[in-house]
Amino acid sequence: MPTQNCDLVLKGSYILTQDDERTLIKEGAVAISGEYISAVGPEADIERNWNAAKTIDCGRSVLLPGLINSHTHVPMTLMRGVADDLPLLDWLHNYMFPIESGLTRELVELGARLGCAEMAASGTTAIFDGYMYEESVGQAVFDSGLKAVLGEGFFKFPSPFFKTAQEAWETIGQLNDRFKECSRIRTAITPHAVFTTDPDQLAESMEVAQKMDLLWQIHAAESEPETKLTLETFGKRPIEILRDYGLLNSRTRIHHCVDVTDEEISLISESGAQVSHNPQSNLKLGSGICPVTRFIAAGVNTGLGTDGAASNNNLDMFDEMRTAALLQKGFLKDPEAMPAGTVLDMATGNGARFLGFEDTGTIKSGFKADIVAVDMDKMHLKPVYNPLSHVVYSAGGQDVCLTVCDGKVIYQNGKHLALDVETISREAEKAVNWALKRLETR
Ligand SMILES: [Zn+2]
C-alpha cells in the first residue's frame, strides 16, 4: 500500500527530466503535491509509494519541463501579421510605434490573454515579457496560471507613456507591489533599447534595479543598422554603451546580441550578464544571426525567446527550438553545432535561470511542477528512437496535450481550464479594425 499522499500524478511513456544527467525515464510518472514535484521515477515506483487524489495518464506521450520563453512582448499577438517583410527600424518606427502609441490598458490585456492562451496550448509555462501597461499583462498572466517576469518598458522621456523618469519608476514600483504576493509574477526594469533611450537614463534605471533588487533587461546589438545608429549618435557600439555606463552585471539580460564582436562576447561573459537568443525574429526582420554558440562557449547563460508575435509570427517554443538548432548548423556549416540537448536546455533550465525562477525548468523532486506533455500518438512523431530528438526536430506546439504550471492543470486535450478563449478570440478579431485605423492616421 502507498504510504504517502499527493495531489496529482502524471504518467507518460517518457520523461525528459532535464536534470544534470539528462535522465530519461521510460514509462515514468511524476507525483505532485501543491505547487511542487514530490517524486519522479518509473511508474511502478510512483504507484507503489504515492496515493494520488487525481491521476492523469497522458498515454503515449513525452513529459518535459514547461518551456520558458526568455524574450517576448506578449500583447503583440494583436499585431500578428499586420506588417511583414520589413527591416527592423522601418517596421518599428512606421508600423509598431504608430499602433502602440494608441494602445489602451484593455487592448494590452486582450493581447496578453490571447498570448497566454496560445502559450498554454503550446507548452510554454513562463515568459520574460516587456511592454507597456504591464499591470494589464500581469492580470492576464495571473488569470492564465502561467509565470512571467513583467517589464514595464520605457523610452526617452517624455514618451507617450511617461513624461518623466520619476513617473516611470513610480509605475514600476506600483507594478512590483501589485503582484508581490504572487510567486508566479515578478518585475524587471525594462529600457527599450540603447537607441531609444539615453545613456544617463539607462544608468539611472540600473540604480533603480539595484535599489529594488530586480533584473534589468534591454534589446541590444540587434542589427548592424542599430550599431551604425549608436555609433553616429554616441560614438559607441551598443555593448560598449552598456559597458561604459555600468550596465553589464549579473542583473543584466540582453535580448538579441546579433551584431557583436569577440571582445563584446568576452565582456558580457565576464560581467555575468545573460543573453536571450531569438532566431526567428532575427531572421524575419533580416537582422542577422546571433553567434549563440560563441556565447555558450564563453560560459554565458543563454535563454531562447520568440520575441513578440509581430516579428515571429507565433509564440511556439517548439518551433523556435527547431529553428535555433537548424540555423547554427547551416550558419557554421557544422551539423554538430547546437545539438538537440543544448537547445532544450536553453528552453528549460537555462531559461529558468534567465528569468530568475531557479526552482523550475527541471522535473525533479523539490522543483515547481511546471510540466507539459507532448502527445506522441501522431504520424509525424512515429517511430520513437529518441524522444529528445522528436521534441526538438519533429514536434510542434500543436502536439502539446497537457500543460501544468505550479501543479495546476491549465490546458488539457484542446481545452483551456483557466482562460475564456471564446471571448478572447472574438475580441481579438475586433482589434484588427482598430490597428488598421491607427496605421491610416500615422
Ligand atoms: Zn523584442
305 C-alpha to center of ligand 1: Å?
Answer: 9
DSSP reduced 3-state for 68: strand
Looking at the domain assignment, is residue 432 inside a domain? Answer: no
Q: Please give the distance, rounded to the nearest whole angstrom, from the Cα atom of residue 210 to the centre of ligand 1.
A: 23
Rounded to the nearest angstrom, the distance between the alpha carbon of 34 and the centre of ligand 1 is 34
Cell 525528459, residue located: 16
**pLDDT tens digit sequence for 342-401:** 999 999 999 999 999 999 999 999 999 999 999 999 999 999 999 999 999 999 999 999
Phi, psi of 11 (to 5 degrees): -120, 145
- 113 in a structural domain: yes
Q: How far is the CA of 72 from the centre of ligand 1 (A)?
A: 6
Boundary-marking domain end, from 307, 330, 355 = 355
- Residue 396's pLDDT is what? 98
Residue 438 lies in a domain: no
One domain for residues 197 and 114 = yes
Distance of CA 383 from the midpoint of ligand 1 (Å): 37
Q: Give residue 211's pLDDT band: very low, low, confident or very high (50, 70, 90).
A: very high
CB of 179 closer than 8 Å to CB of 150? yes
| HSE, side-chain direction, 13 A CA sphere, residue 223 | 18
66 DSSP 8-state letter: P
What is the mean predicted confidence (pLDDT) over 232-255? 98
Q: At what angle do helices 105-121 and 421-440 cross, to 10 degrees?
A: 130
Asked if the model's pLDDT at residue 70 lies above 90, the reply is: yes
Round to whole Å and give the CA distance between 297 and 338. Answer: 11
What confidence category does residue 69 fall into, taking pLDDT thresholds of 50, 70 and 90? very high
**pLDDT interval class at 87 (50, 70, 90):** confident
Q: Read off the CATH number of the domain in which 56 is found.
A: 2.30.40.10
Instruction: Give the strand pairing for 50-57 and 61-65.
Output: unpaired
CB atoms within 10 A of CB 174: 12
What's the CA-to-centroid distance between 71 and ligand 1, angstroms? Answer: 6
Per cent of the chain over pLDDT 90 is 95
What does the pLDDT read at residue 133? 97
C-alpha cell belonging to residue 138: 500581469
How much is the pLDDT for 2? 85
| 208 plus 250 within the same structural domain | yes
Torsion of CA 101, 105, 110, 116, to 10 degrees: 100
Ligand 1 centroid–CA 341 distance in Å is 25
How much distance in Å is there from the Cα of 436 to the middle of ligand 1? 22
Q: Quick one: 91 and 239 in the same domain?
A: yes
Q: Does residue 442 carry a pLDDT above 90?
A: no
Same domain, 170 and 233: yes
- Cα 417 to ligand 1 centroid, rounded to whole Å: 29
Q: Using the mean position of ligand 1's atoms as its centre, give its distance from the Cα of residue 434 in Å.
A: 22
**Structure confidence at residue 287 (pLDDT):** 93
C-alpha cell read off for 184: 508566479
Say whether pLDDT at 121 is over 90: yes
State how many domains the chain has: 2
Who wins on pLDDT, 1 or 287? 287
Residue 218 CA, ligand 1 centroid: distance in Å: 9
Rounded Cα distance between 258 and 238, Å, is: 11
Measured distance CA(301)–CA(349) in Å, rounded: 10
Q: How far apart are CA 290 and CA 303, in angstroms?
A: 12
- 336 and 376 both lie in a single domain: no
DSSP 36: E
How far apart are the C-alpha atoms of 55 and 65, rounded to whole Å?
Answer: 18
Question: Cα of 378 to ligand 1 centre, how many Å?
Answer: 34
Distance 281 CA to ligand 1 centre (A): 8
Residues 226 and 298 in one domain: yes
The per-residue pLDDT for 159 is 85
Mean pLDDT of 82-108: 92
Question: According to the model, what pLDDT value does residue 214 have?
Answer: 98
Return the minimum-mean-pLDDT range out of 25-34, 152-161, 328-337, 378-387: 152-161
Are the C-beta atoms of 389 and 374 separated by less than 8 Å? no
Q: 31: pLDDT confidence band, cut at 50, 70 and 90?
A: very high
Instruction: Tell whether 36 and 154 lie within a shared domain.
Output: no
pLDDT band at residue 427 under the 50/70/90 scheme: very high
Distance 73 CA to ligand 1 centre (A): 6
Please tell me whether residues 162 and 36 are part of one structural domain: no
Distance 374 CA to ligand 1 centre (A): 28
- Per this entry, what is the length of the chain? 442
Q: What pLDDT does residue 434 have?
A: 94
Same-domain check for residues 305 and 169? yes
The CATH number of the domain where 80 resides is what? 3.20.20.140
**Does 130 score more than 90 pLDDT?**
yes
307 and 347 share a domain?
Answer: yes
Which range of residues forms the domain containing residue 373? 4-65+367-414
For ligand 1, the distance from its centroid to the CA atom of residue 97, given in whole angstroms, is 13
CB atoms within 10 A of CB 403: 28
Confidence of residue 441 (pLDDT cuts 50, 70, 90): confident
Can you give the pLDDT at residue 157? 86
50 and 123: one domain?
no
Which residues are placed with Cβ below 5 angstroms of ligand 1, an ion? Answer: 307
Q: How far is the CA of 219 from the centre of ligand 1 (A)?
A: 6
Flag whether 375 is in a domain: yes
Average pLDDT value for the chain: 97
In a domain, 294, yes or no: yes
DSSP string, 96-158: IHHHHTT--HHHHHHHHHHHHHHHHHTTEEEEEE-BSSHHHHHHHHHHHT-EEEEEEEE-SSS
Question: Phi first, then psi: what are they for 152, rounded to 5°?
Answer: -75, 110
Distance separating alpha carbons of residues 318 and 380, to the nearest angstrom: 14
The answer to the question of residue 386 being in a domain is yes
Domain assignment of residue 421, yes or no: no
Position 34 pLDDT exceeds 90: yes
Closest alpha carbon to 221 in 233, 212, 230: 230
Q: What is the pLDDT of residues 172-207, one digit of tens each?
A: 999 999 999 999 999 999 999 999 999 999 999 999
One-letter amino acid of 288: G
